[in-house]
Amino acid sequence: MSSLRDKVVLVTGGAHRLGRAVALELAARGAHLAINYHRSAAEALDTARDVAGFGVAALPIQADAADPSQVDAMVERVERDLGRIDHWIAAAGVFRRTPVASVTADDWRDMTRGNYETLRVCAERIAPTMVRRGGSIVAFGDVGGIRPWADYIPYCVAKARVMAYAAELAARLAPSVRVNCILPGPVLFPPGYPAPARQREIDRTLLGRAGSAGAIARSVAFLVESEYITGVRLPVDGGRLLR
């Protein structure tokens, strides 16, 4: 039986794409899900309906995960309706091309807020209770946070901060809370991502293909269920980091 059975998991950024895949994978293993969304209400309702199809609780919940008062309200609601948070998957992120020649202060603010502040603000609210009860956290970094791309520097810097902060959390919250970071490679490209750039990214993997959302979701489940793993950065990138 999965160690996730009847655990309560919060997925921030859980409405669609990778967050949705993670929610469905954990639901299939018997976890109850709180599915946080920011703007994608319809997608969150769809995901909640599909999660509930596994016979577990599914709570779609709107909040800006970088806003402390909204995060307070979200966590209170999850604790009231589902009892507690055993595991938290921090999948929220913002990604856009920001070439060095035209990068703006808004680009830096948006990338920092969407990728790093969504982790830090939630961690400050969730960690103190989780330390008392035990649990685990999985943050979403990116291989670009280790080997940055010139046209995406604010995003890559934000992901580097995510990875550094996740390592710091792992040290600070041990031994009762494990904290790990997953580094997806090219998996789901944003809508409108140019085909030649897409192919270039795929060609840079050792495996010569894009990953699937399911592969990321199963790797997240592995980190949640692995009771002796904490503080790791796990690339799930087809070998992209080596090229």
Ligand X SMILES: NC(=O)c1ccc[n+]([C@@H]2O[C@H](COP(=O)([O-])OP(=O)(O)OC[C@H]3O[C@@H](n4cnc5c(N)ncnc54)[C@H](OP(=O)(O)O)[C@@H]3O)[C@@H](O)[C@H]2O)c1
Q: Which residues bind ligand X (CB under 6 A)?
A: 12-13, 15-19, 36-40, 64-66, 91-95, 114, 118, 140, 142, 184, 186-188
Other residues' Cβ atoms within 10 Å of the Cβ of residue 206: 12
Work out the widest C-alpha separation in the chain, in whole angstroms: 53
What's the min distance (Å) between Cβ of 44 and ligand X?
A: 6
Q: Which is closer to ligand X, CB of 1 or CB of 120?
A: 120
| Coil, helix or strand at residue 59 | strand
With beta carbons less than 8 A apart as the criterion, state whether 179 and 166 touch. yes
What's the min distance (Å) between Cβ of 138 and ligand X?
A: 11
Q: Which is closer to ligand X, CB of 103 or CB of 131?
A: 103
What's the min distance (Å) between Cβ of 242 and ligand X?
A: 16
| Coil, helix or strand at residue 177 | strand
Catalytic-role residue among 155, 165, 193, 228: 155
Closest residue by beta carbon to ligand X: 93
How many Å apart are CA 203 and CA 181, to the nearest integer? 24
DSSP type of residue 239: T
How many Å apart are CA 154 and CA 5, to the nearest integer? 38
Q: Which is closer to ligand X, CB of 3 or CB of 125?
A: 125
Pairing of strands 87-90, 8-12: parallel
What's the min distance (Å) between Cβ of 18 and ligand X?
A: 3
With beta carbons less than 8 A apart as the criterion, state whether 26 and 9 touch. yes
Find where tokens 């998996």 sit.
187
Residue 37 among the catalytic residues = no
Q: Which is closer to ligand X, CB of 41 or CB of 174?
A: 41
Catalytic residues: 155
